[in-house]
Amino acid sequence: MRKVFAFQFMSIDGIGEFVAYPDDWSSGPDEGNALWAPYMPEIDTLFLGRRTFEIFAEYWPRQKDEASASEWTKEFSRFYDRVEKVVFSKSLRNGVWPNSRIARGPIEAEVARLRETPGGTMAVVGGPRLFQSFLAADLIDDMFLGVFPSIVQHGKPLFRLQLDPDAPAAPVLVGAPDRHDFRAVDARATASGEVFLHYRRVPKGA
C-alpha cells in the first residue's frame, strides 16, 4: 500500500506559512536538498492546495532553465514537473501545469483510492491548511519538519491549536480522538541552524 509523507517547515514558535519563503528563512541548497533528496526517487505524487499550487506553478517550471538557479533548484524543478500533482480545490478550473489534476471530493476518499493503486510514495506539500486536514484525518504516515531558528510571532500556525483557557488541566490520554502519536526516526541540525525532524505515525491502538 502506498504511503503518505508530509514535508513542512515552521519557525520555533510553530508558524508554518512557508509558501512565501521569507528571505531570511530560505534554506541553502545543501540544507534544502538534505531534507528532500533521500526520498525524491520514491515520490511520484504530490498533494497541494489551490494557493500553493498557483504559487508553485508560477515559480518552479521555469527554474530548470534559469542560468542563475542552483543545481538543487533545477533538480527540484524537474522533479515537480514529472510527478503527478493532485490539487484539492473547489474553485480552481484547471491545472495548467503538466501532470496536474484537480480533486474536488473529500480528501479521505481520494487518498484511500490512491493508496490502492500502483505507484510510489505520495507527499503533502504546501501551506498549513492542507497539512492540518491530512493530520486531522490521520492520513500521514511519515512527517518531515524543518524548524527554522526564529520566533516570528505572526502568521499561520502549522498545527491547528484549539486552546480553551477554562478547560481543566488534564492529560490527553493515548487513544483520545484528537491525539495523534508519532515516534522519532531522525533529528539533525544543519550548518545554517535549521533542525530537520523525521517522525513516523503510530497507528491508533498500537
Domains of the chain: 4-22+29-161+170-201 (3.40.430.10)
Beta carbons within 10 angstroms of residue 148's beta carbon? 21
39 pLDDT tier (thresholds 50, 70, 90): very high
Bridge partners (DSSP) of residue 6 are: 124, 143
- Strand order across the beta sheet in which 121-124 lies: 100-103, 84-88, 43-49, 121-124, 4-11, 142-148, 195-201, 182-189
Output Rg (C-alpha) for the chain, integer angstroms.
17
Q: Please provide the average confidence, as pLDDT, over all residues in the chain.
A: 85
More confident residue, 89 or 152: 89
More confident residue, 76 or 4: 4
Q: For residues 61 and 74, what is the distance between their CA atoms, to the nearest angstrom?
A: 9
Percent of the chain with pLDDT over 70: 83
Q: Please give the pLDDT value at position 161.
A: 66
Q: For residues 47 and 87, what is the distance between their CA atoms, to the nearest angstrom?
A: 6
Q: What is the mean pLDDT of residues 5-33?
A: 66
Q: Please give the pLDDT value at position 163.
A: 59
Cell of 31: 540544507
Q: Please give the pLDDT value at position 83.
A: 97
Q: With b meaning 16 or more CB within 10 Å and e meaning fewer, what string describes 37-51?
A: eebbeebbbbbbbbe
Q: Please give the pLDDT value at position 22.
A: 46
Q: What is the mean pLDDT of residues 182-194?
A: 89
165 pLDDT tier (thresholds 50, 70, 90): low
More confident residue, 158 or 121: 121
Question: pLDDT per residue over 46-63, tens digit each?
Answer: 999 998 899 899 999 999
Q: Please give the pLDDT value at position 90.
A: 87
Q: Residues 142, 5: contact at Cβ < 8 Å?
A: yes
Q: Please give the pLDDT value at position 172.
A: 72
Question: pLDDT per residue over 115-137, tens digit each?
Answer: 999 999 999 987 789 999 999 89
